[in-house]
Amino acid sequence: MSAAGSPDLPVATVEIPEYVQPPDKSSLPLVFTAPRRGKPPVHWADLDAAARRTAVEQAGHRAYRARQISAHYFEGLRSDPDTWTDLPAGVRGELASAFMPPLLTSVRELTCDDGDTVKNLWRLHDGALVESVLMRYPDRVTMCVSSQAGCGMACPFCATGQGGLQRNMSTAEIVEQVVDGARKLAHGHFGDDEPGAAPRVSNVVFMGMGEPLANYKAVVGALRQLTTPKPDGLGMSARGITVSTVGLVPRIHQLSEEGLPVTLALSLHAPDDELRDELVPVNTRWNVDEVVDAAWEYARTTRRRVSIEYILIRDVNDQPERAEQLAKVLKRRGSWGWVHVNLIPLNPTPGSRWTASRRRDEDEFVRRLQARGMPVTVRDTRGREIDGACGQLAAGSADVDASITAPPARARV
């Protein structure tokens, strides 16, 4: 199904959509440009500090009100104007309805891992559905966000990719997913009842729906909102943020020049062009050599270690020779210092002809990489039981931010 030809999005449905893989996967086109749809309303989190002051002035108020509103939104996580007690009661409602339009409506919330993983299905203003996942670990809290409704990259193992692209998300739609997670934590969602004991969102991974670098402007806008110090932004460290991509080479270069040293995750999934052409169709545009070069350049420019994502699919890409080949492809660019391999057990989508690797093949794959000195982890599969029909988000939302020096981790859930 091409995105351009996709039917109207379901409105007011409470079902997670069922995705079924079409028999001929090669027929899905790559879609780089999102179809134009009605834009979501502009929100406070779409604007930078200067634009906020201007907007407040244009609405007939003093510019310093902007800072007060930002403090409520980014520091206090409050968008309910009744709580904005330092603003005159008469203007609160007007400012809130001008600048805080509701962007995400909760359709469903699912919890698993003893309450430590919460997945949300959201409906956007035009009915498009997206997902986010909040995961609590002993030492951090990771928020996995969507950057597009659907995806145009057509990877055959990925449920979102098989559904086509509906539209790009706006900066504020992306930021609001993180703000929601931060609110859940602040309100004791994980049972932290001592005041001040609640953890903060320490990590954000762009591993939900969509190809972040195909929605470049809005994603970089969101990265700025997340990393701008409080009260004008959420004040997160760029080190805690990971942008995952199929490998849009020009955009990887562009991202390395933004002065935002976020971690790059490259979804490689195969070390050879023949197989990667099939698993990650964008490989026909930018091949293995080109994406690995771009990732290496990214690591060199930003001094951030790149994470290579490699799904393990039984008898497809998990052979010992491929492990050797993978090590060779990555080693060619110099030492191991720039890279870390994150192996992901495939989470099969409904109707998929593929399944996860056998345990012994997975172990052998890890052993081969380690024997060559490669830093490697096997991804924790948080949230699998609440994966629903998506097939992607829970698998894509795990532990890339695990310490890159950690030994292979195995925390199956």
Residue written as tokens 């959201």?
Answer: 122
Name residue 113's amino acid: D
Q: Please identify which of the residues 109, 112, 131, 173 carries the catalytic annotation.
A: 131
Q: How many residues bind ligand SAH (CB under 6 A)?
A: 19
Nearest to ligand SAH by Cβ — which residue? 396
Of 275, 346, 374, 386, the one binding ligand SAH by CB under 6 A: 346
The number of angstroms, rounded, from the C-alpha of 405 to the middle of its chain's C-alpha atoms is 22
The number of angstroms, rounded, from the C-alpha of 369 to the middle of its chain's C-alpha atoms is 26
CB 68 within 8 A of CB 57: no
The smaller minimum CB distance to ligand SAH, of residues 44 and 296, is found at 296
Of 95, 149, 158, 386, the one binding ligand SAH by CB under 6 A: 158
Residue in 186, 251, 249 with CA at minimum distance from that of residue 223:
251
Give the footprint of ligand SAH on residues 264-283 (CB under 6 A): 267
- Report the DSSP beta bridge partners of residue 311: 344
Closest approach, Cβ 267 to ligand SAH, in A, equals: 4
The smaller minimum CB distance to ligand SAH, of residues 312 and 374, is found at 312
Q: Is 154 in the site for ligand SAH (CB under 6 A)?
A: no
Q: Is 347 in the site for ligand SAH (CB under 6 A)?
A: yes
Q: Is 383 in the site for ligand SAH (CB under 6 A)?
A: no
Catalytic residue check, 211: no
Closest approach, Cβ 253 to ligand SAH, in A, equals: 17
**Distance in angstroms (rounded) separating the CA atoms of residues 252 and 213:** 8
The smaller minimum CB distance to ligand SAH, of residues 158 and 270, is found at 158
Q: In sequence order, which residues have a C-beta less than 8 Å from that of residue 276 and are 6 or more positions away?
A: 268, 269, 270, 283, 287, 288
Of 19, 84, 137, 157, the one binding ligand SAH by CB under 6 A: 157
Closest approach, Cβ 244 to ligand SAH, in A, equals: 4
Find the part of the chain contacting ligand SAH (CB under 6 A) among 23-31, 184-192, 231-239, 342-350. 342-350
The smaller minimum CB distance to ligand SAH, of residues 79 and 117, is found at 117
Q: Is 344 in the site for ligand SAH (CB under 6 A)?
A: yes
**Distance in angstroms (rounded) separating the CA atoms of residues 105 and 319:** 44
Give the footprint of ligand SAH on residues 59-118 (CB under 6 A): none
The smaller minimum CB distance to ligand SAH, of residues 81 and 156, is found at 156
One-letter-per-residue 3-state SS of the chain: CCCCCCCCCCCCCCCCCCCCCCCCHHHCCCCCCCCCCCCCCCCHHHCCHHHHHHHHHHCCCCCCHHHHHHHHHHHCCCCCHHHCCCCCHHHHHHHHHHHCCCCCEEEEEEEECCCCEEEEEEECCCCCEEEEEEEECCCCEEEECCCEEECCCCCCCCHHHHCCEEEECCHHHHHHHHHHHHHHHHCCCCCCCCCCCCCCCCEEEECCCCCHHHHHHHHHHHHHHHHCCCCCCCCCCHHHEEEEECCCHHHHHHHHCCCCCCEEEEECCCCCHHHHHHHCHHHHCCCHHHHHHHHHHHHHHHCCCEEEEEEEECCCCCCHHHHHHHHHHHHCCCCHHHEEEEEEECCCCCCCCCCECCHHHHHHHHHHHHHCCCCEEECCCCCHHHCCCCCCHHHHCCCCCCCCCCCCCCCCC
Closest approach, Cβ 64 to ligand SAH, in A, equals: 40
Give the footprint of ligand SAH on residues 296-315 (CB under 6 A): 309, 311
Closest approach, Cβ 356 to ligand SAH, in A, equals: 8
Q: Is 395 in the site for ligand SAH (CB under 6 A)?
A: yes
Find the part of the chain contacting ligand SAH (CB under 6 A) among 41-49, 59-67, 196-204, 346-354. 346-354
Q: Is 396 in the site for ligand SAH (CB under 6 A)?
A: yes
Closest approach, Cβ 158 to ligand SAH, in A, equals: 3
Site string for ligand SAH, 204-243 (x = CB under 6 A): ---x---x--------------------------------
The smaller minimum CB distance to ligand SAH, of residues 185 and 282, is found at 282
Catalytic residue check, 390: yes
Q: Please identify which of the residues 144, 151, 155, 390 carries the catalytic annotation.
A: 390
Closest approach, Cβ 295 to ligand SAH, in A, equals: 12
Question: Which spans of this chain sit near ligand SAH (rule: CB under 6 A)?
Answer: 153, 157-158, 207, 211, 244-246, 267, 309, 311, 344, 346-347, 349, 391-392, 395-396
- Residues with catalytic roles: 131, 390
